[in-house]
Amino acid sequence: MAGILLGIGKKGGIVMETLLKFEEVFKYFPISSSGIFRKKVRMLHAVDGVNFSIKQGTSFALAGESGSGKTTAARLILLLERPTRGSILFEGKNLQKFTEQDVKWYRTRVQAVFQDAAGSLDPRMRIKDIVAEPMTAQNNTFTRNEIRRMAVGILQLVGLRPAVLNNYPHELSGGQKQRVAIARAMILDPSLVILDEPVSSLDVSIRAQILNLLADIQKKLGLTYFIIAHDLAMLGHVSNQIGVMYLGKIVEIGDTEEVYKRPLHPYTQALFSAMPRPDPRRRRKRASLAGEIGSALDLPRGCRFHPRCEYVSSGCREEEPPLFELSRDHQVACHRAVS
């Protein structure tokens, strides 16, 4: 994975503890539709039996089309949604058993940087108040001067001058707004940061700058990143482990380098085939991926990907494949991949 970007969280040879773990996590949303005589309730399967773990100090990425369940997984981690069943463990503690005081502590340990930085910044607040808001919300024992000093320090960490403290968001460029959003997430010294499409809304010319900045910050602060994105080329540079989601399930998961070298699920192969290549002379066979992602309200029987798969067999239509462990660092949910 050579490139201009720095590797994020690649700490070779160091044994790290599990920071976050999903254990058979389900999230269903009831959808009501009124009929002539009665109301019908159907379940939308947003996250459907997902398992993964994230080691401290590493970067875990989720990839997939819109509607695959990536954002719902992130919302579950942020406690914006509660799982229908299953367990989410953070530092060995079950999030479903958190008291109100536990949740307040958790908010200091887990923060998020959202895709639309401009939309996540209050246009009526100055940058100094936006960056300091997490401090005032979580701890009111700091003086105004102490909070300002911390705000200045965190802005310098993300490459902004203290002069922007008195600016409003509309006075900043897109890259500067993203840096402010990153500073706000980092000021509480979290251990886990959710990055939701962290560079997709930025100009191509500054995407590498922001990714390198995130890499530097992770190295300095020992952070763990949970990244959701569509850009597989970017995820290849910034993650240690990657999971590919389709209709609420992880269909392939493993070490990033292993998955990129040997993608085995037809859906993963199709996503990789759609990646733009920097060599216009290179010819490649585009994997067949007809149609759009199915409905989480009306899941197909058997393998969820079979209506779009060019390798579909009768077994795929009848039996849903589990995640087969091909190696310690690579699992895939595909009958063909293990046959």
Q: Is residue 278 part of a domain?
A: no
3-state percent breakdown (helix, strand, coil) of the chain, nearest 5: 35, 25, 40
Q: What was the pLDDT predicted at 11?
A: 39
Output the domain CATH number for residue 223.
3.40.50.300
Mean pLDDT for the chain?
87
Does the pLDDT value for residue 14 go beyond 70? no
CA dihedral 206, 212, 213, 217 (to 10 degrees): 170
Domain that holds residue 221: 18-30+43-262
Where residue 275 falls among pLDDT bands split at 50, 70, 90? Answer: confident
Q: Is residue 299 part of a domain?
A: no
Residue type, 155: L
Residue type, 250: I
Query: Contact, 210 vs 185, CB < 8 A?
Result: no
- For the chain, how many structural domains are there in total? 1
Q: Is residue 190 part of a domain?
A: yes
Q: Model's pTM, two decimal places?
A: 0.88
Where residue 8 falls among pLDDT bands split at 50, 70, 90? Answer: very low
Q: Is residue 212 part of a domain?
A: yes
Q: Is residue 63 part of a domain?
A: yes
Where residue 284 falls among pLDDT bands split at 50, 70, 90? Answer: low
Q: What was the pLDDT predicted at 135?
A: 86
**Strands, DSSP E only, in the chain?**
18-34, 39-55, 59-63, 85-90, 93-94, 110-113, 192-196, 224-229, 241-246, 249-255, 324-327, 330-332
Q: How far apart are CA 310 and CA 141, in angstroms?
A: 61
Q: Is residue 118 part of a domain?
A: yes
- In the numeric block, which tokens belong to residue 10? 């690649």
Does the pLDDT value for residue 173 go beyond 60? yes
Identify the CA nearest to 303 among candidates 293, 295, 312.
312
Q: Is residue 5 part of a domain?
A: no
Span 90-111, mean pLDDT?
Answer: 94
How many C-beta atoms surround the C-beta of residue 260 within 10 A? 18
Percent of the chain with pLDDT strictly greater than 70: 89
- In the numeric block, which tokens belong to residue 40? 């019908």
Q: How far apart are CA 230 and CA 245, in angstroms?
A: 11
Q: Is residue 284 part of a domain?
A: no
Span 120-134, mean pLDDT?
Answer: 92
